[in-house]
Chain A
């Protein structure tokens, strides 16, 4: 017999599908699990730490970090830090710029015109290290420049 000529299988109605499924009884969990699960649950209940009565500072901090407004806290901390740094910078002494040579000359002229020194202008601080003083000539050279130097003046004629 040609299997292609067999009539198609009848289409079951949804009720038949449901009836076929409902004919099966669901299996219960293994009975030995009951005591195990209940004992485990009771042990966990007895060993669980009691909840804190009042939230401490750490809990508040964690709540702040977890809350949706934690970005606001971060921005506030950033503003506080920047404000602190800017205040410290403003408290530092601001050095005056050095006077120009023309201004120094004018000040000296004014100082000379007045009867007494109204103020003394301090010379500008040396910007470079001053050159070392020239080496002193030996005493023999200063006394007799034409003669060769002699370490002992008594030997000279």
Chain B
């Protein structure tokens, strides 16, 4: 691998990988470890991406597998970490407006209530824009399973974020719709 290739891969894909890992694991330390492990693998096996058509999808799949391994190994630590579920995760860019910041906290908490598999589907569908077929390949599941997980996740998010919507729809209420 050329010297600058690893830096190019980082600059191109690290933000998406970080967002996916943080939303999936809900643990910044685990996400940092998994992100570093992704680039360690790329460094150890320079031809890992040879013949790969979609770098982003391949790296997301690698990150997902690493995160699953991390979660399995550190289940005890994660149970202890769940006690701090109320604290902000820092998944989104902090909003300057207090109302928007509160809405971000609600959305983060709502995402945190989803099972990790549904969180991963939502993340890849919304923020990565993958099709169900593509995200099914990333996660190693059938496309129908991906679609149903996405539907269940949206139903839960809709129920959880209903007060936010009510405030949002009021005329002149809140600044979320701006």
Contact = CB atoms under 8 A, between A and B. Distances in A.
Contacts of A21: 107, 122, 126, 157
Contacts of A24: 91-93, 104, 107
A22 B123 CA distance: 10
Contacts of A44: 40, 43-44
Interface stretch (B12-20, B59-67, B75-83): B12-20
Main SS of the interface on chain B? helix
Contacts of A38: 6-7, 10, 39
A156 interface: no
Given A14-B154, A37-B10, A45-B44, A20 B161 contact: yes
Given A10-B165, A38-B10, A41-B43, A28 B15 contact: yes
Contacts of A42: 6, 43
A56 B93 CA distance: 53
Contact of A29 (B7, B15, B93, B127): B15
B43 A27 contact: no
Interface of A: 9-12, 14, 16-18, 20-29, 33-34, 37-38, 40-42, 44-45, 48
B interface residue count range (under 10 / 10 to 19 / 20 to 34 / 35 or more): 35 or more
Interface of B: 6-7, 10-11, 14-16, 18-19, 22, 32, 35-36, 39-40, 42-44, 46, 90-94, 104, 107, 122, 126-127, 154, 157-158, 161-166, 168-169, 176
Contact of A14 (B39, B158, B165, B176): B158
